Amino acid sequence: MIDERLVAEAFWDRLRDALAQVPDEARTPPPEGRVGAVLVLLEDTPEGPRVVLTRRRRDMRSHPGQVSFPGGRLDPGESVEEAALREAREEIGLRAHTVEMVGVGPKFYIPPSRFWVVPVLARWRQPHPLTENPWEVDEVLEVPLTQLLDRSRWRHAPLSLSGSTWAWQLDADVLWGATAIVMALLLDTAVAGWSEGVRPHELGEEFAVRPWEHVPSWERRIRLEGDLPSLVQAEVEHVSEAQVRAMRRWMDDHGVGPLARAEQAGRAATHAIRRLRGGDVADLTVTVLAGPSENGAAGLVAARLLVAAGALVDVLVVGEPRYPEQVAVLEAAGVPVAAVDASSLDDARAPGQVVLDAMLGIGVQPPLRDLPEVAATWLRRHDVPVVALDLPSGLVADMGLRGPSVTADVTIALGAPTRGLAERISHAYVGDLYVADLGIPPEAWRAAGVETPPTFGGGPLVRLTAEDAATDAATPDQGDL
């Protein structure tokens, strides 16, 4: 007997009513962002609706082997509805005239791919055989909603300490990530009480899934031009926050203080931005986000060096600068410097062509803990590359991804990578990873209990390759958890 919540007309009436209440601003992505659309295609059956999903090819660079909706990036001039139908035609051979468009759901953001995604809901009025595009799709999956209501299939994906998202075991496949976010929203809207009041994390560790630990991986996209030496990340010593602090104390005691280290780190950041832009930064607009730490001091050094190289720099200072004289030099040189906080970093301010994230380093302390989410929210509205110093603001040095974080295209670890950069779920937020030589002698690391083999014999900036580590976890926006 059919679940009365899945009876066709009642189901569709609830869905239409809910979509009609979504305000335009909730479904409209920012004009400067990367935007994609997915088609949530539902077919009526005697047992209730079933949804059309795909399993992506396992050798694809983006989201390999994952269960997803048909969809992709908007072409110039396309609406989200047109893009969703076009992608479904290209991926699975869907005939547009067989589909009734029902409505557009609220947008959401996927940090690893830096995309805004808009779900388009449709009713498949005239089902027909579908054909997988062999270049993109391994298999078309038609999943009854009754499977998703089956509690034995419920799973959860613990994406951070701040929460989990819904996931489902679909026989040999796991439905998780952004696709599961949309599916849970669909069920919340059209199938009253489907979760029986259970929140995902309440399922417990026994039903936790971490697909990012097992998905096929591709090497990180190389973002810095030129021939740089490289090492396999898994073979490089990763250090703890306590070890970094011990190393710094040794350096301080031997006459190499924070400003000297910041000078080296700022030069590394400038070098990275120059390579990111093909070697020339003249007239390049750069926004530097500088925090109150040693990391922020390095960002202010980079601002000065970029100005000297002909870039057009503006500096956003978060918190009290550790060395006010750095700000004074920039202001004397005519560089715009503005103090910002969580309330003033908003859409009225647009970033430059490149953003340098030097807000937070290894020791994130209140009241700055909210900044990563605010900065990530601001940056996701603008399609600009982000270079992070030490680690993207929001990642935790010892643990990796534990809450909202800036998504970087390039991360420059300073002296040695911290342990959080080794966590696989963090890799998509780190982007292309490098480690910069700050002139730290081996004895300084030994004082911190670290034996580091020579890293910089081939040059002062070394690329860390991923090898078999997954770099695209496809996690949904942490702010949406």
Q: Residues 6 or more apart from 428 whose CB is under 8 A from it?
A: 111, 112, 113, 407, 471, 472, 473, 474, 475
Strand 312-318 vs strand 285-290: parallel, antiparallel, or unpaired?
Answer: parallel
Kindly report, residue by residue over 316-369, the tens digit of the pLDDT. 998 888 889 999 999 999 999 998 876 777 666 789 999 999 988 776 554 455
Which of 241-255, 262-276, 314-328 is the least confident region?
314-328
Q: What's the average model confidence in pLDDT over 373-397?
A: 85
Total length of the chain: 481
Is pLDDT of 164 > 60?
Answer: yes
Residue 256 pLDDT: 95
Whether the pLDDT of residue 474 is over 50: the answer is: no
Main-chain phi, psi angles of 355, to 5 degrees: -115, 130
Mean residue pLDDT of the chain comes to 87
End-to-end CA distance of the chain: 35
Predicted confidence band of residue 452 (pLDDT cuts 50, 70, 90): confident
Q: What per-residue confidence (pLDDT) applies to 471?
A: 46
Residue 227 contacts residue 425 (beta carbons within 8 Å): no
List, as own/partner pairs, every contact residues 343-348 make where C-beta atoms lie below 8 angstroms and the sequence separation is at least 24, other chains included.
345/316, 345/374, 345/375, 345/378, 346/378, 347/30, 347/378, 347/381
pLDDT of residue 477: 39
User: What is the Cα–Cα distance from 226 to 204, expressed in whole angstroms?
Assistant: 47
Tokens 């590394």 locate to 268
Q: Report d(CA 29, CA 117) in Å as an integer.
A: 8
pLDDT greater at residue 219 or residue 214? 214
Rounded to whole angstroms, the Cα distance separating 249 from 29 reads 47
Kindly state the tokens that stand for 268: 């590394």
**Amino acid 96: pLDDT:** 96
User: Is-contact 406 287, C-beta < 8 A?
Assistant: no
Task: Count the Cβ atoms, other than its own, within 10 Å of residue 231.
Answer: 15
- Give the pLDDT band (50/70/90) at residue 187: very high
Given this model, what pLDDT does residue 370 score?
67
Question: What's the mean pLDDT in 435-445?
Answer: 95
Mean pLDDT on 142-151: 96
97-106, 120-129, 264-273, 355-364: lowest mean pLDDT where? 355-364
Rounded to an integer, what distance in angstroms lies between the CA atom of residue 109 and that of residue 305? 34
So what's the pLDDT on residue 136?
Answer: 87
pTM over 0.85: no
Three-state secondary structure string covering the chain: CCCHHHCHHHHHHHHHHHHHCCCHHHHCCCCCCEEEEEEEEEECCCCCCEEEEEEECCCCCCCCCCEECCEEECCCCCCHHHHHHHHHHHHHCCCHHHEEEEEECCCEEEHHHCEEEEEEEEEECCCCCCCCCCCCEEEEEEEEHHHHHCHHHEEEEEEECCEEEEEEEECCEEECHHHHHHHHHHHHHHCCCCCCCCCHHHHCHHHECCHHHCCCCCCCCCCCCCCCCEEEHHHCCCECHHHHHHHHHHHHHCCCCHHHHHHHHHHHHHHHHHHHCCCCCCCCEEEEEECCCHHHHHHHHHHHHHHHCCCEEEEEEECCCCCHHHHHHHHHCCCCEEEECCCCCCCCCCCCCEEEEECCCCCCCCCHHHHHHHHHHHHCCCCCCEEEECCCECEECCCECCCCCCCCCEEEEECCCEHHHHCHHHHHHHCEEEEECCCCCHHHHHHCCCCCCCCCCCCCEEEEECCCCCCCCCCCCHHHC
Residue 478 — pLDDT band, cuts 50, 70, 90? very low
Q: How far apart are CA 288 and CA 296, in angstroms?
A: 9
Residue 472 confidence (pLDDT): 47
Q: Is 70 exceeded by the pLDDT of residue 270?
A: yes
Domain boundaries, the chain: 4-213, 230-465
Contact 100, 8 (CB under 8 A): no
- Note the pLDDT of residue 390: 93
CATH 3.40.50.10490 fits 4-213, yes or no: no
Residue 175 pLDDT: 93
Is the confidence at residue 405, as pLDDT, over 60?
yes
- Does residue 367 have a cis bond before it (omega within 30 degrees)? yes
Q: In the prediction, which pLDDT does 479 show?
A: 35
pLDDT recorded at residue 434: 96
Mean pLDDT of 385-402: 88
Poorest-confidence range of 24-28, 271-275, 301-305, 381-385? 381-385
Instruction: Please state the rounded mean pLDDT for residues 303-307.
Output: 97
In this model, does residue 383 exceed pLDDT 90? no
- Highest-confidence segment of 20-24, 188-192, 266-270: 266-270
Confidence of residue 475 (pLDDT cuts 50, 70, 90): very low
Encoding tokens for residue 406? 């800036």
Domain 230-465 has CATH 3.40.50.2300: no
